[in-house]
Chains A and B, each alone.
Chain A
């Protein structure tokens, strides 16, 4: 499986933007970049995914580097509810999600 590297933890102030980085230097052309998050005591939650172009949805934005070797999940205005473990996952086509350790995001009021 293609690997991703994420910081173990990050901290953000409430109502400020958060940029969560993900490195995936061995990404292949068919790998989609997926982000999920897991709030405390809940199941994982789909956030966003993309292939080459930047993507926006109601939850977040995904910025993908031109060489696709890294990406950044952007939460435009962090709230306390955004405190969670964020997983960056490469998924080539019809294959299962493989979760790593993710980044634990803490949001400070």
Chain B
């Protein structure tokens, strides 16, 4: 158990819908990272927040957004969902902003039908 929690574990929704994925980092970790893992693209970094502020951005679509709240939990919002958004979404956390040791949650499996 990494100490990072993600909810829900599974999500099935229809194209065009909007969903919110939630992540609680390990106690004491200030950084939260979001990754997407699909069969064709592998594990891809989406975005990082550090102590409430956006720190780094990767291959995140404009339809996706994230935020980190004062209690340090984070939410990833996915809107106008397409079939290709079906994937595993992982959250990770680390103590500092440099991300030298990232601890990953169990993931949320999103299926868009």
**A residues bordering B, Cβ < 8 Å?**
32, 34, 36, 38, 42-46, 49, 87, 91, 93-101
**B residues bordering A, Cβ < 8 Å?**
2, 4, 33, 42-45, 48, 55-56, 58, 90, 92, 97-107
- Take A44-B43, A99-B42 as given contacts and tell me if A94 and B103 are in contact as well, using a CB distance cutoff of 8 Å: no
Minimum CB–CB distance for B37 against chain A, Å: 9
Query: Across the interface, do A97 and B42 meet the contact criterion of CB distance under 8 Å?
Result: no
Query: Across the interface, do A43 and B98 meet the contact criterion of CB distance under 8 Å?
Result: no
| Docked CA distance A96–B102 (Å) | 10
- Chain B residues with Cβ below 8 Å from A34 are 100
Query: Across the interface, do B56 and A95 meet the contact criterion of CB distance under 8 Å?
Result: yes
| Docked CA distance A98–B107 (Å) | 18
Would you list 18 pairs from A and B whose C-beta atoms are within 8 A, ordered by A residue?
A34-B100, A42-B106, A43-B4, A43-B104, A43-B106, A44-B92, A44-B102, A45-B2, A45-B104, A46-B104, A49-B100, A49-B101, A91-B99, A91-B100, A94-B55, A94-B97, A96-B45, A97-B45
